Structure 1
Amino acid sequence: MPSSPLLSRRRFLHAAGALGAAAALADPCVARAAGNVVRPIGWRDLGTYSGTDAAGRRVKAILAGSSRYLIGPWYAGTYTRYLPDGYIDLKGTDERAIRLPAMAAVATATALTTRTYDERALSSANAIIRTRNLIRTLAARHRANNPDTATRWGSGWQTALWGYYTALAGWLLWDELNATERDQLSSMLIWEADRLTTGNGIYLVGTSGHQLYMTRTDGTVVSPGDSKAEEDNWSAAALSLAAVMMPAHPNVARWKRRNVELLLAAAACPADLTSNKTINGIRLSSWLQGTNIANDGTLQNHARLHPLYMVAFDQSLYQGFVFGLANQAAPRAALHNINRTYAALVSKPFPLPDGGTSFIYRSNSAEIYYPEGNDWGTHFPFYFGNFDLLVTLTGQGTGIHPAAAKWERRHNESQLALMSRFADGRTYGASAENTYYGREHRIGAMAGQAYLTLFLARNTMGNRLRWR
């Protein structure tokens, strides 16, 4: 396999020397994890993408700024020492300790690999060292590789997503990892993927008792005001990545089947329960046992109709680039009901408190209307601009006006305006703008995955976003 377009051969050898001889000598084509072959990305077969189209320039700027901040000031202020075993101190095993560095790794690995990284504050070689530190430490601390119960993570409610981020970043920077790091990365992802194929095949995610549906077919509301859509599609993400990274693994068929099941469950609406449609071998009316969205495309989370969780279907649409990096078609299940949800954002009127109506996407504006309020803060343009872009690239905005591409411009220009307030590449100022403690990391992870989707859709070898 050819190496990635990350570095010239000379620069690669220089970086590898800084990282240690083991990384330079590791076979760049094949690594074995748990006895199974990992297939690196065949970059040469995927062509190149300059990011010079209008949407590309916007997302490229967002990714460059965000990754510069995360691997620069944020990393330097967060990781100040190595532990005796040579790994950085993650300072815990919870979401803050694991998900945040994993998202940062996705942003920076993407920027480096696609030659989008901004070196003004930190060289690419040093950015590689820091990103590799995040990846190798996260993988080593996963329970698949770590017997210490005080420092290990994994097998939890959200850990499939953390594993997905870590493995994606590692796959992008595969040439920079040594044999041990590759093995640990793959073992981590295998653990999380296998866990998701156990238990009841309809109701449960693994054996933890988490439901696939907010509302069951008999009308029972299992989790009032709390759709399971986001959890389903983030779990599906780990399965999709495991399947494309390790196509010869004996469990790959189970991973692919469970991936499709979770994607369909995530976007299931009441109309699907009587539908004779078959998607990726699953007949909706006979397999689905509940719903997560309404027939009008809206969903609830945090006890309200929540637009931020409607655009969380971005995780389903990212499967286009995941499979595309392996030159494979993604399952059509990832597109299920996306058009329905996007129409609810753009063209469904909602009542205003003082009378009249408003769409969630307010006309000729980047402003978002939250019909029942937003408990996360006030400024989220890229959450919507990212989704607009994905809808555009996957053709899921058909029949919806104004077009998704117009909304992408409005929302992402608003995102760039937020970033222009700071010199270091970050997005947010006052905590009220976005109260999530991983707010900068979320921007970085979305930007990385959005840019990879653009790369696969608009590269010199032709559109590689395909659906079967």
Structure 2
Amino acid sequence: MSDPPALSRRRLLGAAGSLGLAGAFGAGATGTALAADGQGVVPVNWPALGSYSGADAAGTRVTAVLAGSARYLIGPWYAATYTHYLPDGHIDLRGTDERAVRLPAMAAVAAATALVTDVYDPRTLSAANATVRTRNLIRTLAARHLANNPDPGTRWGGGWQTALWAYYTALAGWLFWDRLDTTAQGHLVAMLVWEADRLTTGDGVHLIGTGGDQLYMTRRDGTVVTPGDSKAEEDNWSAAALSLAAAMMPCHPHTARWTRRNIELLLAAAARPADLTSGRRINGIRPASWLQGTNIADDGTLENHARLHPLYMVAFDQSLYQGFVFGLANRAAPRAALHNIDRTYAALVDKPFPLPGGGTSPIYRVDSAEIHYPEGNDWGTHFPFYFGNFDLLVSLTGQDRGISPSAAVWEQRHNEAQLSLMARFPDGRTYGAAGENTYYGREHRVGVMAGQTYLTLFLARNETGDLLRWR
């Protein structure tokens, strides 16, 4: 796949360029700290964060993935999906379920990231038109959330996965903050606060309230609550919404509650049996006292969809993204986000599992980009970027110490395989046959991972030094 034109330009967040970013960021252009605006949000102070060229080897690969994916999502996919405005000026989401809400929210993150970092490839759609489309996604998604929308037929929110959808929408909105009007900004705040506040009603067993969804697959007494179905992914995507609310609105009266609950959910997500007797303390919490169960095995593996599932092991990428979320606010992320990541990564690289024809292999096949799924994969056959994305996050956060080959080696293998998939198509997409990845949001999933990993790279390999910090 040929490099998009944007790759030849220096990427400086907040710098003047074809998108006119310096004017858009107003007070941020001085490099001074920004105060909260009328919505209580502290915008990202881009110029104060320095710059990232994207010229390192891993950066070149991730940039190509993001540029291609954003070009496809905000170009052909958007044009085929949203054909007209509704009478209220919003696009028609055509539903309130995951397909109608999560997919455009993921597309918005990919497009917003590419546009504000000058990674966007305008070869088939101008940056100005891409900006209009991205803004349409953000403002419509926020307006349709139940915090802002009384119509039960068109509103979303308050569901099992909606904290994640709100996180994606609000993240895209925060990146695009000064390109949104005050109405859209207000809707984003109301949406994120509503979802974050709902999560603070949970306790040490339940995600929300005192019944329903629980934090653990296995209780402290050994009872398996949800056989073959770890709660790790739900816990860390819910934590994501809390982390973003705390980073965006540090002076909000609920920030302390969001911060505490974020740490609790991060610890619960990666809880293993050994944590139930550990004497260590993490971010002020002693896991042995607070945890009421576990979600992963002591060896770092986990089960989902009734099988040991590597795709859900790398879903801990959501925990590691907290580094860039707090980094954009020039703050340290909670160390709880790193809890047991090294064990899960070691299980991917080093732990042997039986092969169907005899012998053994780790999940990461030796000297190969291929993945060994010990108990099969019910999602399809091609997922190189899911693993390459996680490899890079692990490398950037130093969670591969003592593991060989290193995460950087695996990142190269997996992300080169990802670029080979993309090279098959001229429009920037990744997938062809349905069996390669059966998830209906497969292109959007690649885009949202690429956006978040690029932002992590921007902070970790910044010209001013590593801006990823953990407290």
* TM-score, length-scaled by structure 1: 0.94
How much is the aligned-residue C-alpha RMSD, in angstroms? Answer: 1.6
* Counterpart check, 1:63 vs 2:66: yes
- Note closer, same or farther for the CA distance 1:270–1:15 as it changes in structure 2 (3 Å cut): closer
Deviation at 1:6, TM superposition (A): 6.8
* Counterpart check, 1:301 vs 2:304: yes
Deviation at 1:31, TM superposition (A): 3.2
Separation of aligned partners in 2, 1:317 and 1:188: 23
Amino acid in structure 2 at the alignment position of 1:181: A
Task: Select which of 9, 14, 28 maps to 1:5.
Answer: 14
Answer whether contact 1:6 1:114 (CA < 8 A) is retained.
Answer: no
Task: Select which of 361, 385, 405 maps to 2:364.
Answer: 361
* Counterpart check, 1:310 vs 2:313: yes
Task: Select which of 203, 206, 216 maps to 2:205.
Answer: 203
Partner residue, 2:423: 420
Deviation at 1:11, TM superposition (A): 3.6
Deviation at 1:173, TM superposition (A): 0.6
Deviation at 1:8, TM superposition (A): 3.8
Unaligned runs of 5+ in 2: 1-11, 26-33
* TM-score, length-scaled by structure 2: 0.94
Separation of aligned partners in 1, 2:145 and 2:74: 22
Separation of aligned partners in 2, 1:441 and 1:55: 21
Unaligned runs of 5+ in 1: 17-27
Matches within 5 A, 1:175-254: 175-199=178-202, 201-207=203-209, 209-254=212-257
The one-character-per-residue Cα deviations of 1:395-414 (angstroms, maximum 9, x if unpaired) are: 00000000000000000000
Deviation at 1:462, TM superposition (A): 1.3
* Counterpart check, 1:31 vs 2:40: no
Deviation at 1:264, TM superposition (A): 0.2
Query: How many residue pairs were aligned?
Result: 451
* Counterpart check, 1:375 vs 2:378: yes
Separation of aligned partners in 1, 2:230 and 2:304: 6
Task: Select which of 322, 330, 347 maps to 2:325.
Answer: 322
- Note closer, same or farther for the CA distance 1:12–1:333 as it changes in structure 2 (3 Å cut): closer
Partner residue, 2:166: 163
Partner residue, 1:138: 141
Separation of aligned partners in 2, 1:167 and 1:271: 36
Separation of aligned partners in 2, 1:275 and 1:420: 48
Deviation at 1:385, TM superposition (A): 0.1
Separation of aligned partners in 2, 1:14 and 1:141: 30
Deviation at 1:29, TM superposition (A): 6.5
- Note closer, same or farther for the CA distance 1:167–1:292 as it changes in structure 2 (3 Å cut): same
The one-character-per-residue Cα deviations of 1:359-388 (angstroms, maximum 9, x if unpaired) are: 100011000000000000000000000000
Partner residue, 2:452: 449
The 3-state SS of whatever aligns with 1:31 is: coil
Partner residue, 2:7: none
* Counterpart check, 1:83 vs 2:98: no
Task: Select which of 101, 107, 111 maps to 1:108.
Answer: 111
Structure 1 runs, 4 residues or longer, greater than 6 Å off: 13-16
Amino acid in structure 2 at the alignment position of 1:5: G
Deviation at 1:9, TM superposition (A): 8.7
Separation of aligned partners in 2, 1:458 and 1:98: 33
The one-character-per-residue Cα deviations of 1:101-129 (angstroms, maximum 9, x if unpaired) are: 00000000000111100000001111000
Deviation at 1:10, TM superposition (A): 7.7
The 3-state SS of whatever aligns with 1:282 is: coil
Answer whether contact 2:236 2:319 (CA < 8 A) is retained.
Answer: yes
Answer whether contact 1:6 1:113 (CA < 8 A) is retained.
Answer: no
Partner residue, 1:20: none
Partner residue, 1:54: 57
The 3-state SS of whatever aligns with 1:231 is: helix
Matches within 5 A, 1:377-392: 377-392=380-395
Separation of aligned partners in 1, 2:177 and 2:288: 42
The one-character-per-residue Cα deviations of 1:287-324 (angstroms, maximum 9, x if unpaired) are: 11000000010000000000000000000000000000
Separation of aligned partners in 2, 1:446 and 1:182: 24
